[in-house]
Amino acid sequence: MKDMAPTLLAILKKRILARARRQLAGFSLVELMVACAILAAMMGLISVAIRQMAGGIKTSTAKVDAFQSARTGFESVSRTLGVANLNTYWDYFDSDRKPRGTNTNFTPATYGRQSDLHFLITNNFPTVSGLELSGHSVFFQAPLGYFTNTSSTNPPGSLNPCGFFVAYGEDPTMPNVGISNRPRFRLYQWLPSSDSMTVTLSSGRITNTNWISPATNNGVRPLAENIIAFVIRVPSATNSTGPVTNSTTYSTTATNYNWNSLTTWSTGSQPAQMHQLPPLVNITMVAVEEAAVNRLAGTINNPSDAASAMGINNFSTLFTDEAQYDADLLRLETALSSKNIPYRTFTTTVPLRGSRWSP
């Protein structure tokens, strides 16, 4: 038994040493190749996932940035339009319904609303500052106090002429520094200095649309790009006693979205639009994504052709009849969806604080 103990210990020692040598020998070549293949596959899957995540983040950021610009422009329109003013007062008219100051032999005959300013909503204003307008536009005066004449004192709350409109083409305000100036639908604001507001010197009043004509690239700046629709309408609203009835409707030209406070008065009662702001104005704006516009419209120079490339046929017939507003908006949104163009529709109703509505 004493002779067997060292033998068993020797055998056990050999086995332990053999096992240790096998453990120190590591993996076989086949095992290493299999491990490398699995690792490469895992790294490939992780790389694809990272690229997809980065692409999604980039696309989402681009969409947020594009529509954030549109939202900011939309809020600027709503905020500024809300402080439009006509400073309406009451004065005499002669028997021909002409106001005081229009002739030297003025004889008072009737009493009515009067204003020296102008509020205009139209879908038929051809050009402002050399830009071809596309769709609706609004022009008015507001106490914005924007003044650039350093040799004069800027009185607090001085009136500014102001306007908002969409035009298609290159951006005339972009400096020529080698940056690509692409034709796009853009929302513009026209805001010249207070001292550039033009009135007729003989009467002290703004006359027709002459006060808009001298713009000539003065005070125009883009607020947002890729605004495919800009719609302004006067909704059926309420007065102090309840809903406006058919006999006291706001607009006498509801079929083409117009509101002109300088409408003329010939016979009968004074027109409801004349020298009045509507109590409420509804604004709708549709913005589309730049990447989709760039892919489909590219550098097309004509607004109708650019709209057609985005799936919008008969573009010039959209939003020309107020009775078709809902149908036109649905047609526009359906066309954009058919081309997989991401879009956002903004809409709000703006109360005009300067309105003193009297049917």
Helix or strand holding residue 132 (H, E): strand 131-142
CA pair distance 84, 140, nearest whole angstrom: 6
8 A C-beta contact, residue 144 and residue 191: yes
Please tell me the predicted confidence (pLDDT) of residue 55. Answer: 67
- Per DSSP, the three-state class of 222 is strand
Q: What one-letter code names the amino acid at 221?
A: R
8 A C-beta contact, residue 327 and residue 282: no
Query: How many Cβ atoms sit within 10 Å of the Cβ of residue 164?
Result: 25
Q: Provide the residue ranges of all domains of the chain, joining segments of one domain with +.
A: 51-173+180-351
Pairing of strands 110-114, 259-260: unpaired
Please tell me the predicted confidence (pLDDT) of residue 214. Answer: 55
8 A C-beta contact, residue 136 and residue 257: yes
Please tell me the predicted confidence (pLDDT) of residue 250. Answer: 45
Please tell me the predicted confidence (pLDDT) of residue 121. Answer: 92
Beta-ladder partners of 187: 166, 224
DSSP letter for each residue of 58-121: HHHHHHHHHHHHHHHHHHHHHHHHTT-----EEEEE-TTSPBTTSSTT----EEEEE-SS--EE
Please tell me the predicted confidence (pLDDT) of residue 154. Answer: 63
pTM confidence score: 0.77
Q: What one-letter code names the amino acid at 82?
A: G
Please tell me the predicted confidence (pLDDT) of residue 247. Answer: 34
Q: Which residues of the chain have pLDDT under 70?
A: 1-28, 55-66, 129, 151-156, 176-179, 198-204, 213-217, 236-256, 359
Q: What one-letter code names the amino acid at 160?
A: N
Please tell me the predicted confidence (pLDDT) of residue 266. Answer: 85
CA pair distance 35, 294, nearest whole angstrom: 46
Alpha helices in the chain (DSSP H): 4-24, 29-81, 290-296, 303-309, 325-338
CA-atom Rg of the chain in angstroms? 35
Beta-ladder partners of 200: 205
* Contacts of residue 254, Cβ cutoff 8 Å, sequence gap at least 6: 234, 322, 323
CA pair distance 91, 115, nearest whole angstrom: 9
